[in-house]
Every structure is written in structure tokens, then in C-alpha cells.
């Protein structure tokens, strides 16, 4: 006959065993619950793997597919209900049964009220191929701009599922390095994350910041925002956009802050001129947020390319071997800033230890007047993080991103301020911020731990991604007090040791990226 005392003993033993198996992510900062994704009673599984002293990797799988989530065709997004109803009437006349869905979620820092817009949809299918067939039928009827979408990615209530990967670095015990890495060691050279990790021998890594993809937007691989590696500013800021600041190689003192850059060139007689940018094609400003007459705006505007026909751009060997060709004037400088030669057209070699100043439009006159062979030019570079000027020490690194997601432990999504909302096209914020997408995130805990997080997406039935709001909640649940969004979508990639642990969403697989953040022992 059993003694009653054994039941509480067994219960205590089970509790101790369960607690001992809980992952470390979030526990150091007071969070021991599941991720705040979907209903609170969803099943969640965590597996944690120590990689090195002070570095752990955790894989979190939460939720399951919902029978309510289906495939449909987005026909149009309109700013007013009247426009949406006219679109719906046309669809009905063509034999379809459209739905008009108000999109009520605006960016958290958007001062305007009311619906963001109205979405017109047709069809509801459990099989994606049926939605594709409907899209082809609508295309034949003269409709354009069609999208096959999965309603689980809308941003509304669902049960998931979600797959989240977390690298946690504790600088107090980590003895290695946490540093950005350029693809193929130069701005013009994009490279997959797994290739970067393999050739550098890194322990783990995630993709980095935003960059130019197509030739029409500039030089592919150009960082669309701040890039500072080993104290060298390689790319100017998208003014005031949130970035990840790493004052040391170990990640000690990491912070999330709005970053701005001020770049100037001084002639021998002290005459100053603003440098419009670094290591990018003159006239094309990806992400905007520049100065000096950029059109149509000098404010940040994500995934948009502003233009300026009068620019002075400095190229260093970090760009590559040659400057981009085109009309304009170039001054070739040695390492001390002494002008070696003047080129009457743009496009030519970049000295390994020197630089090239490329001028277009009005800037050509300044360069021709003050950059005569034998004269010396000097450069001034100032980097601001919030209200503070950053010292550009050899151990200083900055990775571009945006928008901010967390501040002082609470959601603080600055999407409008950082250009992720287009006033003339409210659909942009809906697609980019309100809907669920693959995400790469960075967070910093109260104790100074760094969290690098990827959320898989665009993979119905396996992982549906996260919205900006969900991304902020994920970081907070993992223990972060400060956090930001990095480049996502098809760029979202995480490697651990010699394997890609997440599921990149591009149909072709892992995407070549401009830069990464690597963990090296």
C-alpha cells in the first residue's frame, strides 16, 4: 500500500525536472512564459543548444495551422471605400464574388485616424494552386497588380504556426567577437550568409541591414543606411533611422539608437563642401533621408530611391576596384588626401590606400576649382547616435536597420518617422509592417545581453512570419528592453555552426546579401 507522502515528492521532482529543462532565453530578464503569438494556450516547443561560453541558440516552434486560414487573391488596395466598391462592382459584373475588407491598423506613430485603406479580394481556397488559377483568369479579364496571399499572414487572429530562432550573446562571458561582415569583403560583392560564415570560420550569424538589389536603384550591394566597420564609415545614414550600435567587438555596451552622419570635405584654403554620400552611385539615394536637394524628399522613405543630379560622392577601396562610370568629374587622391589626377569622366580605378571623389552637376565646379593636382583635401566625418556623437574607434561597428521596435521595455514602433509609411500609398505600410513577413530582429536586455532573432515566414503550414507589432512583442517576451528591425523578407537568414537553421523564403533559396553580423570565437 502506497504512503500518501510520495505524491507530493513525485510532484516536486517533476516540477524540478521541468524547470531544469526550460531554455535560457528570456529567463534572465524575467520572462518564463511562451511567446505572445496567437492564443495563450497554443503549444510551444523550445530547444536550446549552447554554442560557446556566453552564446546559446534556441529554436522555438509555436502553434499549428488554422483551418480558417486560406489562399485568396488580392485584386486592389484603395484609399477610400468608394474606390474599393467601384472595383468590387466591376468584379461582380465579370462574374466574381468580391469582398471589401477595411484595413484598420495604422502605424503606431501615425497621427491620422480611421482605416488605412480598403482591400478588395476574390476567392477562398485551401489549395494555393486554385488561387493561382483564379489569378490567371482575372489577368485574362484585364486586371493587373494581382497577388495570391495566405490569410494567415494578414496580421489578424490565427493559431500560426511560427518558427523563431534566437541567438543570445552575453558579453560578460563571451570571449569572441561580434562584428559586421561585408559580402565578399566589399560593397559591390553580395554573398550568402552561409558562404560568409564558411570562409570566415564564424560560429554563427544573421543577415544584416538593408541594401540595394537592382541596378536601377544604385550599385547592387550598396548599404541603404549606415555601415560602420572597425571604425570606418562605409555608408552614410538614412537620416535618423534606427541602427544597432556596437561599441566593442564583444557586443559589450550595444545599443539601439537613431543614427545620423555628417560628411564634409575641406579644400586647402579651408573652403568646405558637404559630401553627399559614400561608396554609392551618384544621383541615386536608396531609402532617401539625405540632404542637398534630394528629390522628392530628404526624409527617410523605405524601399524608394530618391535622386539628385548634383552630388559629391567619395569612394574608398571598400567599394571595390573601380568607380561607376558616367558623366561627371573625378579626383583621385592618395592616402593623405593629395590630389593625384583629375578625370574628365567618371569611372576608373580606386587606389587601395587612397580614395576617389566623384562629382556630378554643380559639384563638378567645386571639384574642378579646389581639387587641383598636388593640392590636399581633408575629410571630416561625424556620426551621431541620438544626441551623442560617437567616437569612431577601431572597435566601433554600426549595422543599419529600422524601424525601432522597443524602447525602455515597451513597444515603440517609429514606422512613420523612419519612412516605412508612404502618405501617397498607404498600402506600403500594410504590406511591409502590418502583414506578417519573415523578420530579422535585434534586441538588448537589461543585463546587456544581445538577442539576434529570425522569424520564418511566407511558408504556410510551417511558419507565417510576424508583423511589426508581433516582432516587438517577441523581443519583449525574450527579455529585450531595446529592439529594432533589420532587413527581412527573403534576406532573413540565420546560421549556426555550418548550417542554415531557418527557412529562407526566396524560391531560389538563400539570398546573397550585402552584410551580416557574425559571431566568431
CATH number at residue 119: 3.30.70.1070
Q: Which domain holds residue 94?
A: 66-158
Domain assignment of residue 517, yes or no: no
At 292, the pLDDT band (50, 70, 90 cuts) reads: confident
Q: Is the pLDDT of residue 27 over 70?
A: no
Lookup: cell for 106: 495604422
Residues 486/169, Cβ–Cβ less than 8 Å: no
Q: How confident is the model at residue 14 (pLDDT cuts 50, 70, 90)?
A: very low
Confidence tier at 25 by pLDDT (50, 70, 90): low
Question: What are the angstrom distances between the C-alpha of 319 and each of 147, 185, 229, 327?
Answer: 37, 9, 13, 19
Instruction: For residue 413, give the DSSP letter.
Output: -
Mean of pLDDT values over 147-169: 98
Average pLDDT over residues 89-103: 98
Do residue 152 and residue 224 come from a single domain? no
Average pLDDT over residues 153-160: 97
In a domain? residue 383:
yes
Same domain, 141 and 223: no
Residue 150 sits in the same domain as residue 273:
no
CA distance 188 to 178: 23
**Contact (Cβ atoms closer than 8 angstroms) between residue 403 and residue 484:** yes
**Total domains present in the chain:** 2
Q: Which residues contact 264 (CB under 8 A, 6 or more apart)?
A: 272, 273, 274, 275, 379, 380
Q: Does 241 reside within a domain?
A: yes
Q: Please say if the pLDDT value at position 55 is more than 70.
A: yes
Give dist(CA 502, CA 511) in Å, integer: 13
**DSSP SS3 for 85:** helix
Check: CB of residue 235 under 8 Å from CB of residue 279: yes
Indicate whether 253 and 144 sit together in one domain.
no
List Cβ neighbours of 317 (8 Å cut-off, separation of 6 or more).
Answer: 186, 350, 351, 352, 353
Which one has a higher pLDDT value, 491 or 19?
A: 491
Residue 136 is assigned to a structural domain of this protein:
yes
My answer on whether 221 and 282 are in the same domain is: yes
Residues 153 and 240 placed together within one structural domain of the fold? no
Give the DSSP letter of residue 189.
-
Rg (Cα) of the chain, in Å, rounded? 25
Task: Give yes or no: residues 241 and 141 share one domain.
Answer: no
The verdict on 109 and 221 lying in the same domain is: no
Whether residue 153 lies inside any domain: the answer is yes
Bridge partner residues of 305 (DSSP): 286
Residue 77 in domain:
yes
Last residue in a domain, options 363, 389, 415: 389
Residues 310 and 237 in one domain: yes
Q: Residue 4 corresponds to which cell in the numbers above?
A: 500518501
pLDDT at 467: 98
Q: Where on the phi/psi map is residue 230: left (φ > 0), alpha (ψ -120 to 50), or beta? A: left
Last residue of a domain, one of 139, 158, 177: 158
Do 360 and 296 reside in the same domain of the chain?
Answer: yes
Q: Which of 279, 77, 185 is nearest to 516 (CA)?
A: 185
- Contact yes or no for 171/250 (Cβ under 8 A): yes
CA–CA separation, 100 vs 302, rounded Å?
27
Lowest model confidence (mean pLDDT) among 236-240, 386-390, 429-433, 449-453:
386-390
Q: Which of 338, 369, 389 is the last residue before a domain boundary? A: 389
Q: Is residue 152 part of a domain?
A: yes
Give the pLDDT score at 515: 98
| Strand order through the sheet with 355-359 | 277-278, 312-316, 355-359, 329-333, 339-343
Domain identity same for 223 and 368: yes
pTM for the full model?
Answer: 0.93
Rounded mean pLDDT, 480-508? 97
What is the model's pLDDT at position 328?
98
- Side-chain-side CA neighbours of 5 within 13 Å: the count stands at 0
Q: Name the pLDDT band for 183 (thresholds 50, 70, 90).
A: very high
Q: All 3 cell numbers of residue 423?
A: 502618405
Q: Dihedral, CA atoms, 222, 225, 231, 233, nearest 10 degrees?
A: 60
| Within a domain: 285 | yes
Q: What is residue 3's predicted lDDT score, i.e. its pLDDT?
A: 36
In the predicted structure, residue 13 carries a pLDDT above the cut 80: no
pLDDT of residue 5: 38
Q: Which three cell numbers stand for residue 300?
A: 527617410
- Provide the 8-state DSSP code for 160: -
What is the average pLDDT across 240-266? 96
Instruction: Please answer whether residues 484 and 439 qualify as being in contact, where contact means their C-beta atoms are separated by less than 8 angstroms.
Output: no
Residues 369 and 227 in one domain: yes
**CA pair distance 76, 65, nearest whole angstrom:** 26
Average pLDDT of the segment spanning 350-370: 97
Amino acid at each position: 500500500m502506497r504512503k500518501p507522502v510520495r505524491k507530493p515528492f513525485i510532484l516536486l521532482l517533476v516540477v524540478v525536472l521541468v524547470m531544469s529543462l526550460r531554455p535560457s532565453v528570456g529567463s534572465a530578464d524575467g520572462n518564463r512564459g511562451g511567446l505572445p503569438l496567437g492564443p495563450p494556450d497554443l503549444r510551444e516547443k523550445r530547444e536550446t543548444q549552447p554554442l560557446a561560453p556566453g552564446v546559446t541558440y534556441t529554436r522555438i516552434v509555436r502553434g499549428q495551422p488554422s483551418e480558417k486560414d486560406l489562399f485568396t487573391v488580392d485584386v486592389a488596395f484603395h484609399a477610400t471605400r468608394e474606390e474599393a466598391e467601384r472595383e468590387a462592382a466591376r468584379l461582380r459584373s465579370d462574374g466574381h464574388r468580391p469582398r471589401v475588407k477595411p484595413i484598420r491598423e495604422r502605424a503606431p506613430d501615425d497621427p491620422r485616424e480611421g482605416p488605412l485603406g480598403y482591400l478588395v479580394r476574390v476567392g477562398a481556397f485551401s489549395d494555393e494552386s486554385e488561387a493561382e488559377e483564379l489569378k490567371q483568369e482575372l489577368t485574362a479579364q484585364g486586371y493587373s497588380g494581382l497577388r495570391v496571399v495566405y490569410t494567415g499572414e494578414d496580421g489578424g487572429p490565427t493559431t500560426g504556426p511560427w518558427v523563431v530562432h534566437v541567438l543570445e550573446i552575453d558579453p560578460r562571458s563571451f570571449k569572441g567577437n561580434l562584428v559586421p561582415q561585408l559580402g565578399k569583403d566589399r560593397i559591390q560583392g553580395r554573398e550568402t550568409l552561409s558562404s560568409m560564415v564558411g570562409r570566415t570560420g564564424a560560429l554563427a550569424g544573421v543577415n544584416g541591414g538593408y541594401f540595394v538589389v537592382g541596378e536601377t536603384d544604385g550599385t547592387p550591394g550598396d548599404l541603404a543606411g549606415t555601415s560602420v566597420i572597425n571604425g570606418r564609415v562605409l555608408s552614410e545614414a538614412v537620416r535618423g533611422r534606427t541602427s544597432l550600435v556596437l561599441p566593442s567587438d564583444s557586443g559589450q555596451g550595444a545599443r539601439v539608437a537613431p543614427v545620423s552622419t555628417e560628411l564634409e570635405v575641406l579644400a586647402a584654403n579651408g573652403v568646405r563642401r558637404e559630401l553627399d554620400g559614400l561608396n554609392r552611385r551618384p544621383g541615386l539615394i536608396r531609402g532617401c533621408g539625405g540632404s542637398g536637394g534630394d528629390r522628392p524628399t530628404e526624409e527617410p522613405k523605405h524601399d524608394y530611391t530618391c535622386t539628385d543630379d548634383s552630388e559629391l560622392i567619395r569612394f574608398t577601396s571598400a567599394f571595390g576596384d573601380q568607380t561607376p562610370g558616367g558623366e561627371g568629374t573625378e579626383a583621385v587622391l592618395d592616402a593623405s588626401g593629395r590630389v593625384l589626377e583629375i578625370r574628365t569622366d567618371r569611372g576608373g580605378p580606386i587606389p587601395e590606400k587612397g580614395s576617389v571623389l566623384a562629382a556630378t552637376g554643380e559639384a563638378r565646379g567645386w571639384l574642378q576649382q579646389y581639387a587641383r593636382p598636388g593640392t590636399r583635401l581633408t575629410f571630416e566625418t561625424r556620426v551621431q547616435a541620438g544626441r551623442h556623437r560617437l567616437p569612431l574607434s577601431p572597435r566601433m561597428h554600426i549595422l543599419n536597420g529600422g524601424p525601432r521596435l522597443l524602447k525602455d521595455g515597451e513597444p515603440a514602433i517609429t514606422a512613420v518617422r523612419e519612412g516605412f509609411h508612404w502618405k501617397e500609398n498607404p498600402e506600403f505600410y500594410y504590406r511591409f509592417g502590418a502583414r506578417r513577413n519573415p523578420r530579422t530582429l535585434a534586441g538588448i536586455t537589461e543585463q546587456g545581453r544581445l538577442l539576434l532573432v529570425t522569424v520564418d515566414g511566407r511558408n504556410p503550414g510551417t511558419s507565417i512570419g510576424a508583423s511589426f507589432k508581433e516582432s516587438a512583442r517577441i523581443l519583449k517576451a525574450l527579455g529585450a528592453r531595446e529592439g529594432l528591425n533589420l532587413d527581412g523578407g527573403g534576406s532573413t537568414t540565420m546560421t549556426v555552426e555550418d548550417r542554415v537553421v531557418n527557412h529562407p523564403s526566396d524560391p531560389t533559396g538563400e539570398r546573397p546579401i550585402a552584410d551580416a553580423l557574425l559571431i566568431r570565437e
